[in-house]
A and B are shown apart, each in its own frame.
Chain A
Amino acid sequence: MSDYNFAYLDEQTKRMIRRALLKALAIPGYQVPFASREMPMPYGWGTGGVQVSAATLTPEDTFKVIDQGADDTTNAISIRKFFEKTANVGTSEKTEEATIIQTRHRIPETELQEGQILVYQVPIPEPLRFLEPRETETRRMHALEDYGLMHVKLYEDIARHGAIATAYAYPVMVQDRYVMDPSPIPKFDNPKMEMAAIQLFGAGREQRIYALPPYTKVVSLDFEDHPFDPSKAEHPCALCGAEDSYLDEVITDDQGTRMYVCSDTDYCESRRATGHIGTEGTQPEEVFA
């Protein structure tokens, strides 16, 4: 048995985070300030997400962590182990088995259900930050719903590149009120944000928490003549043949050969387990036999 308090954080800290989470759910898309704590990992490694998960976990939960869709990267494994040790919770790599999924920069391909909670790690929570560096100003802009600057930025993209060039962290309008940064997920994932699960966003260094209750209206910003396009690489997954999933481009030699594979490792593996094999794929059983 570990000597940590349940889920690492002290009760006083969890109480403060829990109050922020409830306000965030009551005002979807609004960034609630919170007193972020030092965590036993550096900023940029998911300290915001970890604090939100710690305040949300119950002993009965099944916890899953993904990093760019993958369960088996260093960051995902260490956060999963952190809560195995400090909260003694069960963990899983299966999206449908998990009750809390902490994610860095992806939404799972498998549609989430009521009762599930998706916790995002957020580096820069303020969608207007690169347009206006002053917090006092961006706060006023949110108060006044003054989002003209964001539309100018998207328009300048079109003027320069012929299309909106933003491919990730693509800004959304929440319930016709707040412009929100969806964290650096690919814009391919934006339409999935209108989901049945609860979505919680934690930015540790920037000390902000925000949230989306289930079925909240989330619209990606666009123009009538340049509608939002959730694009992805025009290939099937080389391992499982999926044509509907978000793909990573992998360089396989120094001659420029490349393959495209699902970024969601659980989705890819479960497809292969049920017999969907791409051009370069094998069934998982054969690999481990």
Chain B
Amino acid sequence: MRDAMIFEGGFSDVSRDSARAFRSAMNAMAHPGRKFDLTGAKPPAPLSEAAAGLLLVLADANTPVFLTGEHDTDLIRGWITFHTGTALATTPDQASFALGTWDALLPLRQWPAGSAEYPDRSATLIIEHPGEGETARLSGPGIQTHQDCALPAITPFRDNAAQFPLGLDFYFCQGSTVRALPRSTKVEAI
């Protein structure tokens, strides 16, 4: 039973499903705060379809994934390592990707934010987020005027954006939908 749950649930047509899932991930990153469908993965709970899809498209042996809180289970560990071949990170500072709920991922300063010469050497946080919280007004690249979006908090994201070009990038996953918040986005409370 457990083995079946680990080995099942990847993309059925790997190259085409990955291409479609990446388009959603890219559209989300290029349009901060806007919701996109990201489907195709059937992971074990509590991993959402969108978060699992992101890992299938992006994670591999070169990108350590750190699992936090309720996502750090044998089943999810097994599923992710079987389907992506990733090496799970043992400490936050190794992580290319970190997965979990908002509370489990805090504090944000534990994740690598890149260096001045290589700001891309930073972590991307994949957050399982029910879509509630404080309403933020987003502006910046990818947004024509402004975009309103529910975030779990305001201040940590404002501080993250203040470090630009250093900083973390975020994906908020809810079921089969995904929204992104790159470090370039200005975040204000309304």
Kindly list chain B residues whose C-beta atoms are within 8 Å of the C-beta of A5. 15
Instruction: Say yes or no: B119 contacts A216, CB within 8 Å.
Output: no
Q: A16-B62, A22-B29, A28-B141 are in contact. Are A140 and B184 (CB under 8 A)?
A: no
Residue of A nearest to B120 (CB): A23
Instruction: Say yes or no: A7 contacts B144, CB within 8 Å.
Output: no
Instruction: Say yes or no: B140 contacts A175, CB within 8 Å.
Output: yes
Kindly list chain A residues whose C-beta atoms are within 8 Å of the C-beta of B124. 22
Q: Mark A83-107, 1 if CB is under 8 A from B, else 0.
A: 0000000000000000000000000
Kindly state the separation between the CA atoms of A211 and B122 in the bound complex, as whole angstroms.
17
Q: Mark B1-19, 1 if CB is under 8 A from A, else 0.
A: 0000000000000111011
Residue of B nearest to A217 (CB): B141
A129: Cβ under 8 A from any B Cβ: no
Nearest chain A CB to B111 CB, angstrom units = 14
Kindly list chain B residues whose C-beta atoms are within 8 Å of the C-beta of A32. 120
Instruction: Say yes or no: A57 contacts B19, CB within 8 Å.
Output: yes
Instruction: Say yes or no: B141 contacts A216, CB within 8 Å.
Output: yes
Kindly list chain B residues whose C-beta atoms are within 8 Å of the C-beta of A15. 18, 57-60
Instruction: Say yes or no: B19 contacts A177, CB within 8 Å.
Output: no
Choose from B141, B165, B169 the contact partner of A22 (Cβ within 8 Å): B169
Interface residues of A in 211-230 (CB under 8 A from B): 212-217
Instruction: Say yes or no: B30 contacts A214, CB within 8 Å.
Output: yes
Nearest chain B CB to A128 CB, angstrom units = 14
B142: Cβ under 8 A from any A Cβ: yes
Q: Mark A1-31, 1 if CB is under 8 A from B, else 0.
A: 0000111000110111011111111111010
B31: Cβ under 8 A from any A Cβ: yes
Kindly list chain A residues whose C-beta atoms are within 8 Å of the C-beta of B15. 5-7, 11, 14
Instruction: Say yes or no: B182 contacts A7, CB within 8 Å.
Output: no
Nearest chain B CB to A207 CB, angstrom units = 13
Q: A59-B16, A214-B30 are in contact. Are A175 and B25 (CB under 8 A)?
A: no
Interface residues of B (CB under 8 A from A): 14-16, 18-20, 22-23, 25-27, 29-31, 57-60, 62-63, 116-117, 119-120, 122, 124, 140-144, 164-165, 169, 182-184
A-B contact pairs, 19 of them (CB 8 A): A11-B18, A19-B58, A21-B26, A22-B58, A23-B169, A25-B182, A26-B183, A27-B183, A28-B184, A30-B120, A33-B120, A175-B140, A177-B164, A198-B27, A212-B141, A213-B29, A213-B30, A214-B31, A214-B142
